[in-house]
Structures are given as structure tokens and as C-alpha cells.
Amino acid sequence: MRVALMAITDEGGEPVKLGGRPIAWHQLQAALALGCERIVCLAEGPGATLGALQREAEGRDARFSAVSHARALSGLISAADTLFVFAPGILPDREWLNQALGARAGIASLPAEGAVERGFERIDRDRAWGGVLATRGDAVEALTLLPPDADPIAGLLRIALQRGGRCVEVPERWLDEGRWALLGDSGAAQRMEMAWQSRHVPTPAIDRPGEMLAHFLARSVLPRTADRPAVAPSIAIGGATLAVAGGIAGYLGMTVGGLAALAFGTLASEVGERLGRFARAGAGKEPRRRYIELRDAALDLSLVAVAASPQEFAGWHAPFVALVLVGAIRLAREEGAQKPIRPLGDRILVFSVLFLAAVGQGFVPAMAAVGLAALAARIFWPRPRS
């Protein structure tokens, strides 16, 4: 069995967090990616962080145990187990761990110069411990020889070194890139936050201003919602529902109000979706592509419904123009879309512009102008070279 040992990093009684999650939560994701079936957490006592870790581990079919001292480890870890040890505050790269320590025991190491000044523990003249090691489970039996108040994680590192464990070097540049970090306090986590978020959930380009706004809104509320898993889907589904309601209202003749609800609902739905992506960041979970496809289809059909209102627009002209615009929006969202039409892939922006046009009694002409301009650019503008 593969077992992971970690500890909660506290600062003044509060866990150090990254992306709204305790550092131990990120270590848990790395342990689960390594195939660990049992998670053992060192903690002084019960608390909200332990409860969240237990729910996450058991929800992923792993067993979870919390202990307060090293002597309890021998009853949880057998000699035949493979033990992965995470130093408090370490934020490792999951893919590297799988490649370097997934098949063989070893000690992650960094060049001492540069690593020690960042808080990593020196293990010899040239190297520092990278904060993760893999060893045999019988190492916990040797902890009984240490004083009762000894740090079990430091003791396991010493035992692994005494046994001649191989050192596997972590690329030094990762310390600067943020792919490997030691976050022992909230200040270090805050300095790391922006780079970590950008790597896992990139900020939309400036030519998608509506999506950029949704991204910043999601990032601003993330610290208060990351440990409440129901918030993100509630906002996403609620926003999509509001947008569809706007489409229905528009079909019933309330064009301006319907477009306002459509634009605001699309923004809220995108905020919820990005909150979900932030919540899944570091867990290795795939984005919910099927949901996104269904949501986008509902948003596009809602726009067509507004244009198809028999009370506001006679004949087929308005819904036809809306369908042309929907086609342009989808073309603009393709990966190889030309720069001039990329902003049209931002539904929040497009629906907001149409709302303003409707206020000025120019809804259908605005749809026609935007859709035809996008199609013309798609056809005649030089495509970027691959």
C-alpha cells in the first residue's frame, strides 16, 4: 500500500493557504496522484482543516487518519508499505513526483545554494531537502528510537539519509517559476498566489474583456468560497438560468430587459465556472467540457429567442441575423481565429453591446453589423501561420 504522511502548516492557529486551500490540501492532491490509498496527517487536534482534508480524501476513495505524535504511526503504516513524506508547507510539482518518486524510493533535493535561503533544510554541503521523500514503511519503526518530542518528519528524513536513499534533484529554476515552493507562512503564500493562479487558470487575453472581468471577480471572491464546494456550481447554474430566463423574457417582448438578464447571467455563469476552475486547480481534474458546451448552446439559443419575438420583430429577418451572429461568435472562439474577430468570442461583451444597442432601438442593426463584420474578417483577413 502507498501511504502519505503530511502535517498541517499553521500560522497563529490558522492554516497557511494558497488559492483558498490549505497547503496540506495541495499535498493531498499530490499524494492521491501518486496512488496513495491512506493519508496520515500530523495535527495537534481536530479542526476545520482536518475535516476538509478527511472529506476530500474519503471522497477520492482513500483512507484518512489524523495523529498527534509519532508513536501512533507504527499502527497505521506497515513495513511493506511505501511511505511518501511531505514536509510542512511544501508545494511540489505533481507530475515530477510521479516521474521521479512514483516507481522508486528517493529523496527530492535541490542545490543548497539558493534553496537554503528560501527555507529548505540543508542535508549536506551541496544539497538541500526538496521537502518530499519516498521510503519503505519500516522507517516508522526507527522513530521509536528518537525522543518523544522529536519531529517525525525530520526524523524520517534523517533515517532515509542514513539508509543511503538516492537523491533526485528538482530543477532549480522551478523555485523561481513557482512550480516548487516552501510556503511556511501566509506572506510566502501571498507572494506565490498570483503565479500559481496564472499557471493553473490563465487570465483571459485583453481582447476578451468580459471574460477578463469574470476572471478578476472570481479571483476576488476565491478566498471566501474555496472551501465551500457548492458555491461555484450554484453561481454558474444560477447565472445560466438567469440568462435563459432573459431569453424567454425577450421572446415575450421585453427585449431590453431580456438582453440585460442575458448579459448579466452570462457574466455570472462565467464567474461561477472560473471559480470552479480555481477550486479544481492543483487537483488534476479535467474541466467540465460537457457542461460548458451545453451552457454555451443555451446562451446562444437565448439570444436567438430574443430576436425571434413575434411581438417585437416581424418575419424571419431578426432570428436569421441572430443565427449569423451566433455562427460568428463560435468562429471567433476557435483556437486559430484571427485577432480582429477574437473579441466577438466573448459572449459577455457581445451581449452587453447588444443590450446597449437595444436601449437605443438598434438591436437588429447591431447584430447584423457585428455578425457580417466578423464573417467578412474571417473570410478575408489573413489567417495566422501555424
Does residue 257 share a domain with residue 113?
no
Domain of residue 357 covers: 203-380
Does residue 167 share a domain with residue 103?
yes
- The proportion of the chain whose per-residue pLDDT surpasses 70, expressed as a percent, equals 96
pLDDT of the residue at 255: 95
Does residue 260 share a domain with residue 150?
no
pLDDT at 251 over 70: yes
In the 3-class helix/strand/coil scheme, how is 158-224 assigned residue by residue?
Answer: HHHHHCCCCEEECCCHHHHHCCCEECCCHHHHHHHHHHHHHHHCCCCCCCCHHHHHHHHHHHHHHHH
For the ranges 124-133, 144-153, 243-252, the lowest mean pLDDT is seen at 144-153
Does residue 226 share a domain with residue 335?
yes
Report the alpha-carbon distance of residue 95 to residue 80 in Å, rounded.
25
Per-residue pLDDT tens over the stretch 136-193? 998 888 887 777 778 889 999 999 999 988 999 999 899 888 889 999 888 888 888 8
Give the number of domains in the chain: 2
Residue where one domain finishes, among candidates 191, 226, 259: 191
pLDDT of the residue at 385: 64
pLDDT of the residue at 384: 65
Does residue 110 share a domain with residue 251?
no
Does residue 245 share a domain with residue 151?
no
Does residue 185 share a domain with residue 238?
no
Name residue 6's beta-bridge partners.
41
Does residue 152 share a domain with residue 74?
yes
pLDDT of the residue at 287: 66
126 DSSP assignment:
S
CATH number of the domain within which 25 lies: 3.90.550.10
Residue 317 lies in a domain: yes
Residue 386 lies in a domain: no
Cβ count near 10 (within 10 Å)? 17
Instruction: Tell me if residue 79 falls in helix, strand or coil.
Output: coil
Residue where one domain finishes, among candidates 166, 191, 216: 191
Name residue 169's beta-bridge partners.
109
Per-residue pLDDT tens over the stretch 263-286? 999 999 999 999 988 887 766 666
Residue 197 lies in a domain: no
Residue 34 lies in a domain: yes
Residue 198 lies in a domain: no
pTM exceeds cut of 0.85 = no
In the 3-class helix/strand/coil scheme, how is 321-358 assigned residue by residue?
Answer: HHHHHHHHHHHHCCCCCCHHHHHHHCHHHHHHHHHHHH
Residue where one domain finishes, among candidates 191, 225, 260: 191
For the ranges 190-199, 228-237, 315-324, the lowest mean pLDDT is seen at 190-199
Per-residue pLDDT tens over the stretch 33-81? 999 999 999 887 777 888 889 998 999 999 999 888 777 888 888 888 9
Does residue 292 share a domain with residue 166?
no
